[in-house]
Chain A
Amino acid sequence: MADISSNFLGIKSPNPFWLASAPPTDKKINVLRAFEAGWGGVVWKTLGSQVKNVSSRYSAVDYGGSRVMGFNNIELISDRPLAINLKEITECVKLFPDRAMIVSLMADNNRESWHELIKKCEDAGAMGFELNFGCPHGMTERGMGAAVGQDPEIARMVVEWVMEKATIPVITKLTPNVHSVVPTGKAVVEAGTNALSLINTIQSVTGIDLDTLVPNPYVAGKSVFGGYCGPAVKPIALKFLTTISQNETTSKVPVSGIGGVSTWKDAVEFMLLGASTVQVCTAAMKHGFRIVEDMCEGLNNWMDEKGYAKIEDFIGKSVDKITHWEDLDINYHITAKINQDKCIHCGLCYIACEDTSHQAINLDYGKPYNTYTIKEDDCVGCNLCKLVCPVDQCITMEEHRVAPEYINWKQWQEQGLPLNDH
């Protein structure tokens, strides 16, 4: 059995799975249920000055019959009185001292407010802070949330205020509503943050009601941009995470990965790209806390299978596998191959390649079943057919190197090799 426990800047948890700062962590009853279910830690719903929420608050993107492939919300930070939150935090820590209790903060934009909030939360028993520089709605209009995260200099200033006061680890949560998360990441690391987390939600419009013509979510005939999250944002989160893991400054601090994590596999992917822990919101909101059981078991089994004894053994292992396009090996070439025994003759590979790729699949008419074969000479090895094929392992990509030696784009040009082979 592998050891899946985590030690994040001294904050220990039995597994690297934390609940992200959001409704699942906004009160004692939820957090106790989460700990009972087995979650390693929570980032308590963001605390700050008193706010008021609207109704409705959420909307989703469904796809191909699956609900909530993407999720968005227009909620604000915790709308419960600070004193109640603090009291409940203390009670939760007392009942589950082995779990990570991080408290998310978004104070008003001045030093005193931050210092006061930090003091109160430390007294309540917080083990670490997460600074919410990411909330893309409601708070930005007040100069908080993403408004801070989008400006590296403001972010640096706020982190400096925080570091003057905090005696426990500080994680800064980055907003993805920027063209790159690195400038803010660098600024806050330089200002002393102990760790980073990303991503918060992405500004979005999930859809429009075609009867009322009002976009979602609907609030008395109007809508606003909501923060997008859930499985749909995972690829974007992984990209932002990679840029943080590859930057000389930001890679010095540990990262908690967030954005679309729903399964142990998603979690492993975040960890392979440099996250030490992962945080989950939407998946828990869709299925409840019980999903953590399979996350722990799946991670454990995978680690055993691959021979990793502890999570540090694989964290970051894929970071250097993402390179620049110019460094890719141009002599590497693959072509598709259809296993005729597995093929169910759906024609999806054919029409994809024929209409939109390289006309590299041959159709032999049959009634009712056509036979499809690859024209190896025309196949550019793009993967499209394999991606659309509904049968597992029916289309495989086989390696046929153009030449044995590595050659990249720059060398190719320098040697004056032919540019167009189609």
Chain B
Amino acid sequence: MISNNRLTEAEYKVNFSDIHPPYTNVNAALVDANRCLFCYDAPCTKSCPTSIDVPKFIKQITTANIKGSAHTIFSSNILGAGCSKVCPVEKLCEGSCVYNLLDEAPIPIAQLQRYSTEKAIAGNWQLFTRKPSTGKKVAIVGAGPSGLSCAFNLSKEGVDVTIYEKESKAGGLMTYGIAAYKVTPEFCEDEVNYILSIGGIDIKYNMALGTDITIAELQAQYDAVYLAFGVGLARQLSVPGENLAGVVDAISFIYELRSKGFSSVPVGDKVAVIGLGMTAIDAATQAKRLGAKEVTIVYRRTQEEMPCTQVELDIAMLDGCKISWLAAPKEVLGTDGKATHLVCTKMKLGEPDASGRRSPIETDETFTLEVDMVIKAAGQMPFETLVNGSSLNHKSGKVSVEDKSVTSINGVFAGGDCVNGGREVVDAVQAGKDGAASILNFLF
């Protein structure tokens, strides 16, 4: 049965509490900070898509220069606070920390980054001064990580920025997509306000490109345009029974969870999640944490090929989610219009595909899972119709760029998920920086 309000308020609170808690005292932060070797040309920095000078900001914690530390972080990544909570650090900075080569635990870089940046946001430290207005105006579409990062870096240089955002809140997937136990709505709001506090950035909410305004109109009103509208819709499964009640897409499921109270979000007793990316993990664990009795993740390949990291998989496993390896959805069965069973085809591994991973091949065998809810998390689709309507070059909806952010239309730039098809927040932040640099180059 699909129902909401399965747990007590106290249970929701525990289930959705911070998965990576912060340091509770300065000594704890110092123990870790002092362990950092202050590497030269540090591997951790090279493995951060925004190239945060990690040894420098950690050293600054040890010298009690927390303002300097926060400044070091924000100079490279204005979403440094959010990133410290959501980055898959095991495959980024911490994954490259030299301590791994000593078979020692890496420096908890993200936790230290959180330490400095949270203090900055809580204290509303103004670490940057906006240059006097240059009179140049830029429009940005989308107030997600990419758009915000671009806006900040432009405004700092004296450009007046207007962001057009289709939702009523800023933050993009930070606010509407990422797991609730990583970031809270309050945090996202604080982070956005902190970024905007440099001044010179105006956000027009509930304004969607395509419906409320067009690229051509923006071009007419502004000196340049930056597109950062992300990716949108969940990929369809294209299997029979997909329209039965109880079959939902992960993005909508999480959107609801992030924008409403936990108790109002309905979830099934027996949930199947299709896919094993970050979104699938988030959907599965959060379904479980909302009170689902059984959650089974259905994945076409094996652990060898899985797109999520081991750390993420462990979160799902520790939450009690089951994994059905080498299984692909074949059909959703139902009665009275409601999903009751998911029929899966057993798969085997064949030759490596374009991604270099061994591709799944169907066998003749099938098996059936009893379900009342199926969450589809088999990837997201770029906004194909949105870009189709313009003269933008694109590859099945992903905006094509040269030189990191220059699109096929003169004066129009793009970056983030809408260009890369969906990566991490930190990649979107770097894209925003690159976009700002290209725009400044174009304007001056």
Contact = CB atoms under 8 A, between A and B. Distances in A.
B43 A368 contact: yes
Interface stretch (B96-104, B158-166, B206-214, B275-283): B96-104
Nearest to A351: B40
A178 interface: no
A65 B37 CA distance: 13
A40 B352 CA distance: 73
B14 interface: no
B42 A347 contact: yes
A255 to B, nearest CB: 37
Contacts of B98: 344-346
A390 B44 CA distance: 17
A346 B47 contact: no
A65 B39 contact: no
B239 interface: no
B38 A348 contact: yes
B62 interface: yes
A104 B34 CA distance: 41
* Chain A interface extent, by class: 10 to 19
A83 interface: no
Contacts of A344: 98-99, 101-102
A62 B30 CA distance: 13
Given A345-B43, A346-B39, A348-B39, A65 B102 contact: no
A386 B261 CA distance: 58
Contacts of A368: 43-44, 46-47, 96
A172 B88 CA distance: 64
A346 B46 contact: no
B37 A346 contact: yes
A363 B37 contact: no
B31 interface: yes
A369 interface: yes
Interface in B39-77: 39-44, 46-47, 62
B41 A363 contact: yes
Interface string A55-84: 000000000110000000000000000000
Contacts of A347: 39-42
Contacts of B99: 344
B46 A390 contact: no
A350 B39 CA distance: 10
Interface string B369-380: 000000000000
A393 to B, nearest CB: 13
A347 B42 CA distance: 8
A348 B31 CA distance: 20
A351 B42 CA distance: 11
Contacts of B31: 65
Contacts, number: 43
A109 interface: no
B317 to A, nearest CB: 29
A149 B42 CA distance: 52
Interface in A341-368: 344-348, 350-351, 363, 367-368
Interface residues of B, number: 21
A368 B106 CA distance: 15
Contacts of B102: 344, 391
A167 interface: no
A418 to B, nearest CB: 34
Nearest to A349: B40
Contacts of A180: none
Interface in B90-121: 96, 98-99, 101-102
Interface string A384-414: 0000001100000000000000000000000
Contact of B101 (A64, A345, A348, A367): A345
Given A64-B34, A65-B34, A345-B101, A369 B43 contact: yes
A413 B122 CA distance: 67
Contacts of A370: 41
Given A65-B31, A65-B62, A344-B102, A367 B46 contact: yes
A34 to B, nearest CB: 30
Nearest to B31: A65
A69 to B, nearest CB: 13
A390 B43 CA distance: 15
Nearest to B30: A65
Which of B31, B37, B42 has the largest number of chain A CB atoms within 10 A? Answer: B37
B37 A348 contact: yes
Contacts of A65: 30-31, 33-35, 62
A23 B339 CA distance: 79
A370 B98 CA distance: 11
A367 B101 CA distance: 15
Nearest to A346: B39
Contacts of A367: 46
Contacts of B34: 64-65
A346 B30 contact: no
Contacts of B44: 368
A325 to B, nearest CB: 32
A32 B35 CA distance: 39
A419 B247 CA distance: 85
Interface in B188-221: none
Contacts of A64: 34, 62
Nearest to B93: A368
Interface string A366-378: 0111100000000
Nearest to A343: B101
A347 B98 CA distance: 10
A369 B41 CA distance: 9
B40 A346 contact: yes
B157 to A, nearest CB: 29
B34 to A, nearest CB: 3
Nearest to A65: B34
A217 B33 CA distance: 27
Contacts of A348: 37-40
Interface string B409-420: 000000000000
A199 to B, nearest CB: 30
B210 to A, nearest CB: 39
A189 to B, nearest CB: 46
A64 B41 CA distance: 21
A145 to B, nearest CB: 36
A345 B47 CA distance: 14
A116 B37 CA distance: 58
Which of B33, B37, B40 has the largest number of chain A CB atoms within 10 A? Answer: B40
Interface in A308-345: 344-345
Interface of B: 30-31, 33-35, 37-44, 46-47, 62, 96, 98-99, 101-102
Given A344-B99, A346-B98, A350-B40, 8 more contacts: A65-B31, A344-B102, A345-B43, A345-B101, A347-B40, A368-B47, A370-B41, A390-B37
18 contacts: A64-B34, A65-B31, A65-B33, A65-B34, A65-B35, A65-B62, A344-B98, A344-B99, A344-B101, A346-B42, A346-B98, A347-B40, A347-B42, A351-B40, A368-B43, A368-B46, A369-B96, A370-B41
Q: Lowest 7 CB-CB distances: which A-B pairs, in order?
A: A347-B40, A65-B34, A368-B43, A351-B40, A368-B46, A344-B101, A344-B98
